[in-house]
Structure 1
Amino acid sequence: MTGTFMMSADTPPEELDWGKLRWMSHPPSTGAGQLTVIEVNITPGNGHDFHKHPDQEEVIYCISGKVEQWLDQEMRILGPGDSVFIGAGVVHASFNVGYNDAKLLAILGPCVGDQGYELVDVASEAPWKDLR
């Protein structure tokens, strides 16, 4: 396979209680094996709570907005053009602390499972449940 175009208009968003995802590349949409790419929109005051990807590295790139980004127990505020690299198995979380939607690009690799994405929620566990 040489690749495929993924047009935004043809890629329906997945609505979540904290925002929405648009799967720009993953095994079901492109046949990708090494990279899963997700456009992430987080609504104001919401976030993708503490979780990890045991077998995947991730880069989160902030396109717009103001994001409280956690990397293990360290927190920084990301703005447009800022990014974070997250090693496999490292707990992290992203919260929109701005007044408008925050738009991020999440790039994970390698693809894991049928969806190309694995997630372990740890938000209810110590120390993550007490960090914010």
Structure 2
Amino acid sequence: MTTTHSSQPDLSTETFSWGSIKWGVTADRFPGAPITVGEVVINPTKGHDIHTHPESDEVLHVIEGEGVQTVGDSREFAVKAGDSVYIPRGTEHSTFNTGWRQLRLIAIYSPGGAEAALQGAPDYRVIEPGAAPVWERAD
């Protein structure tokens, strides 16, 4: 029987200086899956640098928190829970958390595979399933 389900406790967590990601659907986990889906958590006052996904469109759906988003030549625009953002492949974009709580997003790549580029980030770390990231307070 083919596996068609993933559960958060069974997924590793990819961490960065700005937050973390759990990928629930990838072609590695579900062979032949044409998309990638994951939950992204951006910590307060953090964000990620402007970047592109040359081969994938991206959809971001905000499930909690608030922040600012750029897409292409757009100025920063506010995003909050319930908002969705479409980013065409090859378009520069960034996301930044402006709130006091975590900014939680669902990220979808179509076609999947763009998540592999994150593994080359200098602050990339993987935490095994079942272990929680520890965020340290700067004094």
Same fold (TM over 0.5): yes
Q: Any stretches of 5+ residues in structure 1 without a counterpart?
A: 121-132
TM-score, normalised by the number of residues in structure 2: 0.77
Q: Any stretches of 5+ residues in structure 2 without a counterpart?
A: 119-139
Aligned-CA RMSD value? 2.0
1:117 aligns with 2:118: no
Count of paired positions: 118
Q: Is the 8 A contact 1:54 1:119 kept in 2?
A: no
Q: Is the 8 A contact 2:27 2:34 kept in 1?
A: no
Q: Distance in 1 between matches of 2:66 and 2:84?
A: 12
- Alpha-carbon offset, residue 85 of structure 1: 0.5
1:99-125 superposed Cα distances (whole Å, 9 cap, x missing partner): 01110000001123xxx53549xxxxx
Q: Is the 8 A contact 1:14 1:20 kept in 2?
A: yes
1:50-102 superposed Cα distances (whole Å, 9 cap, x missing partner): 00001100100000000211111312111000011011100000000000111
1:84 aligns with 2:85: yes
TM-score, normalised by the number of residues in structure 1: 0.81
Percent identity over the alignment is 33
